[in-house]
């Protein structure tokens, strides 16, 4: 599995912790920045992560900011991205199983490091369940296509 990861300044420290977990799990990843705690604008780092996942360069993405909300919004603007903001491992698992989520967003000011690591473990190990959920993803894709044509 290949993972794309990026954060703004507020998510910089948590990103480092999650990169350490990826190293521990021997998961290949690319850090799209930011590379310091100096103030930056989150779209500049989240959009490249989402675009890389959308293109298929990476299977999943991780985006981190202060709340995770803006990061999820930006990621979900990219065609083919299904980003979920997670605050507990059950949401992370269900996001993959039911929604085939391909990007996870964290709010470093909202979630603790150990909970974020537990969420990420669930996200990385869970698989899309298919079945009845396929029709829902097809509906999402149609909405996305309709909006792109506007």
The catalytic site residues sit at 98
Q: Which two tokens stand for residue 103?
A: 């990007």
Q: What is the DSSP letter of 41?
A: -
d(CA 126, CA 42): 27
Rounded to 5°, the CA angle 43-123-62 comes to: 20
Q: Please choose, from the candidates 17, 89, 7, the residue with its C-alpha nearest in 3D space to the C-alpha of residue 48.
A: 7
Query: Collapsing DSSP states into helix, strand and coil, what is residue 134?
Result: helix
């Amino acid at each position: 599995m290949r993972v794309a990861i990026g954060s703004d300044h507020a998510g910089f420290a948590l990103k480092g912790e999650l990169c350490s977990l990826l190293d521990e799990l021997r998961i290949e990843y690319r850090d799209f920045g930011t590379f310091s705690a100096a103030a930056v604008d989150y779209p500049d780092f989240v959009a490249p992560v989402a675009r890389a996942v959308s293109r298929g360069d990476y299977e999943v993405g991780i985006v981190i900011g202060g709340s995770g909300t803006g990061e999820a919004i930006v990621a979900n603007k990219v065609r083919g991205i299904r980003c979920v903001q997670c605050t507990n491992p059950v949401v992370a698992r269900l996001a993959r199983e039911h929604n085939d989520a391909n990007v996870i967003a964290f709010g470093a000011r909202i979630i603790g490091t150990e909970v974020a690591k537990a969420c990420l473990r669930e996200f990385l190990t869970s698989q899309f369940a298919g079945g009845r959920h396929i029709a829902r993803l097809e509906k999402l894709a149609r909405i996305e296509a309709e909006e792109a044509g506007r």
